[in-house]
Structure 1
Amino acid sequence: MDPDSVDSVDRVPHGSSDDPDVLDFSANINTRVPDGARAAYDAAFAESRSYPPDDYSEFRAAAAAYVDCDPEQVVPTAGGLAALRLAVATAIRPGESALVPYPSFGEYAREVELQGGEPSLVPHDDLLDSDPEPHALAVVCNPNNPTGDSYDAARLREFAVRCRESDTLLVADEAFLGFTDEPSLAGEPGVVVARSLTKLFGFPGLRAGFAVDGRESERLETARRAWSLGWPAARVGTVSMRETAFIRATRERVARERAFLERALATEFTVAPSDSPFLLVAVPDHERLVERARESGVVVRDATTFRGLDSHMRVAVRERGENERLLAALGVDVPE
């Protein structure tokens, strides 16, 4: 991190509410957790009296099977954001530039700026047409947050090749890819993939994730903190990534509920196509609508905090009864 840059960089707003009296649609978290997660968490209590083994061999093996890569390429991190920071910190020098999409996750530009780099902001839809050659780093969010759409897999791999030929590190944030059937870039030469276990497995407070380093380098492994996962995160993450039936059922349920919400919301508003556990909705007078929902005990994400969006909200996909409550809070009729 560049000490001279820290004072000029701001925090980034995020979704999520810690108010127990509201229904939270502002954070895109699975409403369910794998069956084995609680037992793994409880068993980790006694283990937490000692340091975890820093090689994390079981976690790496489970992660490698989960995204189809070599276990030696897996770098355990405390969440997907920690993987992103590690990738950016080991790639950007002060004064260097990075291709960063918008509207997208605000932490990309922030992490580049913390290293003294210069974010070169490009519309999300145009990023794969950009020339990576002048940049030390390029970031893709797939599927993109907050728009929800995935990149075409063939075009994304073509862009990865162009980045590699330009000696530009491609960082692929796949925080929501587990909700889709789209292929991962994990193990692709010259690419660092950041994966979060927060969203798909429903435990954001556990801070579990990993990077996959597709380069012939040990830079990420060398730079990561010792004991980068606590025992609970390592154990629960390992068990969860092996729950293939849970992952399949989650994808089916989220796709079904997303279609239900999209159909209803589209009768009143403009809804962006999504492959993700959330929908981006363009609404007139968004401040009034966000406040109306809050008065009904429902919190949605004011998406105008994302660069390029001026009258939008983002809503998570939850269980059917909760989704119906969201519609009622927004004044939208529930479909027959």
Structure 2
Amino acid sequence: MNPDSIRTGSRVPHGGETDRDLLDFSANTNPRTPDGVGDVYAAALEESRRYPDDDYPDYRAAAAAFVGCDPARVIPTPGGLAAIRLAMEAALEPGDEVLVPYPSFGEYAREVELQGAEPRFVRYDDLFEMGPTVLEACALAVVCTPNNPTGDAVDPDTLEAFAARCADADTTLLVDEAFLGFTDRPSAAEFERENVVVARSLTKLFGLPGLRAGFAVASGERRDALATARRAWSLGTPAARVGAHCLRQAEFVRDTRARVALERERMRDALGERFDVHESDAPYLLCDVGDRDVATVIDDARAAGVAIRDATTFRALDSHVRVAVKDRGANDRLLAALGVRNREDANGETE
């Protein structure tokens, strides 16, 4: 990390509401957690009197099975953002250029700048059309799939073709799959390309943002570099044990995907009566409020007991909010707070 960049850097705004009296739709986390988490955590807390096994064999095995790779390729990290930083620390030097999509997660540009490198911004929709002239000038390119905040998921064939072009240009490709678990799309970990690093988070899918568990996946010499650079004991025992437990809950994941897909479409139809709503493969919806004042929309929702995300903090979005997709009851409260009525079927029940 570059000391001069740290001195001139700043924090990035995020979702997440601290007022416990508000229903929080500003952070895109699952409102449910897998059964048994409490018991696993309690047992792990007792075992925390010892240092964890720094190899994390059980956690790595669970993570590898989840994304479809060899456990040796998994590098445990305290959250997906830690995997992103680790990948950038290992790949970047001061003065390097990095291809960063927008609108997308604000931490990418911040992490690039903290390394003393320079973000080269490109519209997310144009990212996968970049050719050798652009890629050869960049030490690293970032992809978020599904993208935050738009919810666009990249077609696997498109992503693999882009990874191949990055390899030809000697460009590292960092694929952030923080929300990919909400879809049935395969992980880029299956590419097994040495120029590709995958970052995964357990925060969103398993509803445990405070646990701080994630991992990176890499191959060959790049995997070796990340494994060497990783901090010792990078996961606490509770995070490692609970994380491994969650990653093996296949039925929970299937149920979550089905619920989110159903509720997302229902919410999109309802919100579309008032806002321009972006198509999404993620557990959130990006809404263009048009000529309404974004701050007023947010304040009105807050007055009704619901916190939503101000999406104007994302590059190139000046009239947008983002809302999470949760359980039906909570989602209905959101719709009401935004002044959207649920349509009723012939039996008088909400559709």
Report the TM-score when normalising by structure 1: 0.99
Aligned counterpart in structure 1 of residue 332 of structure 2, from 324, 328, 336:
324
Residue of structure 2 in register with 1:124 after alignment: 124
1:144 aligns with 2:154: no
Residue of structure 2 in register with 1:213 after alignment: 218
Q: Cα offset for 1:335?
A: 2.1
Q: Distance in 1 between matches of 2:249 and 2:35?
A: 8
Aligned counterpart in structure 2 of residue 196 of structure 1, from 201, 221, 226:
201
What SS is found at the alignment partner of 1:41?
helix
Q: Distance in 2 between matches of 1:123 and 1:272?
A: 16
1:18 aligns with 2:24: no
CA deviation profile, 1:63-107 (whole Å, cap 9, x unmatched):
000000010100000000000000001111000000000000000
Instruction: Tell me if structure 2 keeps the 8 A contact 1:191–1:215.
Output: no
What does residue range 182-193 of structure 1 map to in structure 2 within 5 Å? 182-188=185-191, 189=193, 190-193=195-198
Q: Cα offset for 1:216?
A: 3.3
Instruction: Tell me if structure 2 keeps the 8 A contact 1:187–1:212.
Output: no
> Is the deviation greater in 75-84 or in 187-196?
187-196
Q: Cα offset for 1:214?
A: 2.7
CA deviation profile, 1:160-190 (whole Å, cap 9, x unmatched):
0011111110000000000001111014202
Q: Distance in 2 between matches of 1:260 and 1:140?
A: 28
Q: Cα offset for 1:268?
A: 0.9
CA deviation profile, 1:178-226 (whole Å, cap 9, x unmatched):
0001111014202100000000000000000000013433010000000
Aligned alpha-carbon RMSD (Å): 0.8
Q: Distance in 2 between matches of 1:179 and 1:207?
A: 18
Residue of structure 2 in register with 1:268 after alignment: 274
Gaps of at least 5 residues in structure 1 are none
Amino acid at match of 2:86: L
CA deviation profile, 1:99-141 (whole Å, cap 9, x unmatched):
0000000000000000000000000111111132210000000
State the number of aligned residues.
336
1:297 aligns with 2:302: no
Instruction: Tell me if structure 2 keeps the 8 A contact 1:187–1:213.
Output: no
Q: Cα offset for 1:152?
A: 1.6
Q: Distance in 1 between matches of 2:278 and 2:153?
A: 12
Q: Cα offset for 1:270?
A: 0.3
Report the TM-score when normalising by structure 2: 0.95
What does residue range 104-119 of structure 1 map to in structure 2 within 5 Å? 104-119=104-119
Greater than 2 Å deviation, 4+ residue runs:
214-217
What SS is found at the alignment partner of 1:287?
helix
Q: Distance in 2 between matches of 1:187 and 1:258?
A: 28
Amino acid at match of 2:322: R
What SS is found at the alignment partner of 2:238?
helix
Residue of structure 1 in register with 2:99 after alignment: 99
Q: Distance in 2 between matches of 1:182 and 1:256?
A: 17
What SS is found at the alignment partner of 1:178?
helix
Residue of structure 1 in register with 2:349 after alignment: none
> Is the deviation greater in 211-220 or in 38-47?
211-220
Percent of pairs with identical residues = 61
Instruction: Tell me if structure 2 keeps the 8 A contact 1:192–1:215.
Output: no
